[in-house]
Structure 1
Amino acid sequence: MRTHDDGRHELGQNFLTDPAAIRAVVDLVARTGGPIVEIGPGGGALTLPLEGLGRPVTAVEVDGRRVRELRDRVGPGTSVVHADFLRFRLPAAPHVLVGNLPFHRTTAVLRRVVHAGHWTDAVLLVQWEVARRRAGVGGATMMTAQWWPWYDFAVHRRVPASAFRPRPGVDGGLMTATRRPRPLVPEPRRREYQAFVHRVFTGPGRGLRQVVRAAYPAARTSAWARRHGVTDRTLPRDLGAAQWVELFDLVR
C-alpha cells in the first residue's frame, strides 16, 4: 500500500508530511464552522486530523487508487469521493474548503474556488509566492484585485519544501480566503467591476495615473490620487481592496 508521502508525479502530488504544518492547517479550519470539503486528500494526511474536529468531511480525490485506500481508513463522518475537484459539484449550503493544492493546478483550482458559491472560508496550501500575491503582499495580482470586493485574502505562514514528499522545487504558503458578509461592490456590478480592473491592469501607460487617464479621461481622480499617495510610479498591483473600490466608484 502507498503511504501518504508517496506522490504520483503525473498528478502533481506533493503530500504534506510535516506535523507542524498539518496542525497549522487544522487550527485554521477549527476557527471556522460547518461541513468541510477537502480538495485532493491524497493519503489522508489532512483528512484524518480534520476528522478530529467532529464535523462532516467530504474528501474529493482524482486518484482512484488513493480513493480506495483512504475509504478504508476514514471514519463514518467522512465521505471520500472519486472526482476531479474542477468538475465536482460543491454543496449548495455553507461549507469550508480545505486543500493542499497540486502546485501545477493552483491557478485553475483557485479560479474554480472564487467562482463557486456557498463556501464561507477556504484554507489552502499553495506556492509561497502565490500565497503572498493573493494576499497582496508585495503587490496583488489582477485576479486578487478582481475578487477583493467579495473575499478577504490572507497569508499565514511559509511552509518549507522539506515539509512535502516528494519535495517540490519551491516552498509552500498557507493562505485563507474568507467570503465577506457584505461585499464592497454589489453583486450585480461584479462583471462591470472586474472588467474595470482588467482594463486598468492591461491598459497602456507607465504608471497607474497614466493608465487611468488614458482609459477614463473624464474621470476626476486627482484628489483620490493625492489622498492615497498615488504617483506616476504607482502600479495597479500597489492598490488595496478599498482603493480599488473607491477608484471604481469614481470612474464608472
Structure 2
Amino acid sequence: MPSSSRPAVGGRHELGQNFLVDRRAAARIVALVPPGPVLELGAGDGALTRQLAARSGDVTAVELDPGRVAGLRRALGRRVRVVQADMLRMRLDGAPTVVSNVPFGITTPVLRHLLAQGSWTTAVLLVQWEVARKRAAVGGTTLLTASWWPWYEFSLGGRVPASSFRPRPAVDGGILVIRRRPEPLVPPAERVAYQRLVREAFRGDRLLPAVRRALPAPRRWLAAHGLDAAARPRDLGPQVWAALHAAVNGAAQP
C-alpha cells in the first residue's frame, strides 16, 4: 500500500488492492461475524473497521501502510487497537474471528497463511467472486479446498458488486466464510499424509488411477461411496475424502 502521510484513493496495483466503499456491503460482511473479539487483516481506510468497532467486543486492525495506520488511529481512537504489520507474516493469535477484505493479488497466500494457523475459529473474507465460489466448492471442489476440508467448512456468504470498490475491479467480490470444524474428520496428526493423498489424486483427471495403487479393491470402494470409474477428484465431498484417507491409511498398515 502507499506509504504517503495521507491515504491515497485506491491501492497498490501489484497486490490487486481494491478498497470497499459501499457501507451496505460492509454491513453485510460484518453481519456474518460472530460476537466476540475480532482481528481484521488489511484494514485499509477502515470501511469494515468502523462497523466492527460499533459492535461489542475488542477489535484489532492490522494495516501495512503507515499513513493509513495513523489515519485509523486518529479516527477510531481507543475503540480499536491498530497494528502496523504485514498480514502474511504475523501470527494470528488472540482472536477467535478473522475478517479481511483480501487484496485480490495475494488471495491464495493469505488463505494458506490462515489455514495453517490454529488459533481462530471463524474467518469472514471478501475475495474475488469466482475464488469464493471455488473455495466453497460450488460446481466441484478444488485442490486447496479438499486439502483442508477435514478441518474447515467453507461456505459462500454472498456476492459484492464491483461498484462497491475503489478503484473498481474488473470482477465482483464474494464473501467466503470459513469455520473450523468442532470435530475434525481426519486427526490433525495425519494432515501431512492426507494432503499428500489429495495432491496425488488431483494430478490426474480421474480418481481411479490414483486409488488403484493405494487400495486393494478400488472399484468396490468407489461403488460403496456412490462413485464409478469415471469419478473425478472434484466430485468428492469432505466425508468421502476423509473416508478415502482412512481406507488408504488402513491399507498401508502392515
Query: Which of 4, 16, 22 is residue 18 of structure 1 equivalent to?
Result: 22
User: Deviation at 1:136?
Assistant: 0.9
Partner of 1:209: 208
Q: Secondary structure at the match of 1:178?
A: strand
CA contact (8 A) 2:194 2:245 kept: yes
Gaps of 5+ in 2: 250-254
Q: Secondary structure at the match of 1:109?
A: helix
Partner of 1:99: 100
2:249 equivalent to 1:248: no
1:64-87 Cα offsets, whole Å, 9 max, x none, are: 111111110114131111110111
Q: Which amino acid aligns with 2:227?
A: V
1:53 and 1:219 map into 2 onto residues whose CA distance is 56
Aligned-pair identity in percent equals 50
Query: Which of 38, 42, 66 is residue 64 of structure 1 equivalent to?
Result: 66
User: Deviation at 1:19?
Assistant: 2.3
Q: How does 1:163-174 map to 2 (within 5 A)?
A: 163-174=164-175
Q: How does 1:19-98 map to 2 (within 5 A)?
A: 19-29=23-33, 32-91=34-93, 93-98=94-99
Q: Secondary structure at the match of 2:189?
A: helix
Partner of 1:162: 163
User: Deviation at 1:11?
Assistant: 4.5
Partner of 2:123: 122
Q: Secondary structure at the match of 1:87?
A: coil
Q: Which amino acid aligns with 1:236?
A: P
Gaps of 5+ in 1: none
CA contact (8 A) 1:61 1:82 kept: yes
Moved more, 82-91 or 101-110: 82-91
Query: Which of 218, 235, 239 is residue 221 of structure 1 equivalent to?
Result: 218
User: Deviation at 1:141?
Assistant: 1.4
CA contact (8 A) 1:5 1:164 kept: no
CA contact (8 A) 1:39 1:59 kept: yes
CA contact (8 A) 1:221 1:247 kept: no
Q: Which amino acid aligns with 2:66?
A: G
CA contact (8 A) 2:153 2:180 kept: yes
Partner of 2:197: 196
CA contact (8 A) 1:51 1:78 kept: yes
Query: RMSD value over aligned CA atoms?
Result: 1.8
Query: Which of 228, 235, 239 is residue 238 of structure 1 equivalent to?
Result: 235
Q: Which amino acid aligns with 1:70?
A: L
User: Deviation at 1:153?
Assistant: 0.5
1:141 and 1:4 map into 2 onto residues whose CA distance is 36
2:177 and 2:198 map into 1 onto residues whose CA distance is 22
User: Deviation at 1:117?
Assistant: 1.5
2:8 and 2:244 map into 1 onto residues whose CA distance is 48
Q: Aligned residues, how many?
A: 245
2:222 and 2:134 map into 1 onto residues whose CA distance is 23
User: Deviation at 1:209?
Assistant: 1.6
Q: Secondary structure at the match of 1:119?
A: coil
Moved more, 68-77 or 181-190: 68-77
1:81 and 1:128 map into 2 onto residues whose CA distance is 28
CA contact (8 A) 2:6 2:67 kept: no
What TM-score do you get using the length of structure 2 for normalisation? 0.90
Q: Secondary structure at the match of 1:46?
A: helix
User: Deviation at 1:160?
Assistant: 1.3
1:224 and 1:94 map into 2 onto residues whose CA distance is 42
1:36 and 1:4 map into 2 onto residues whose CA distance is 26
Q: Judging changes above 3 Å, is the alpha-carbon distance between structure 1 residues 4 and 44 closer, same or farther for their aligned structure 2 residues?
A: farther
2:95 and 2:40 map into 1 onto residues whose CA distance is 14
Q: Which amino acid aligns with 2:226?
A: G
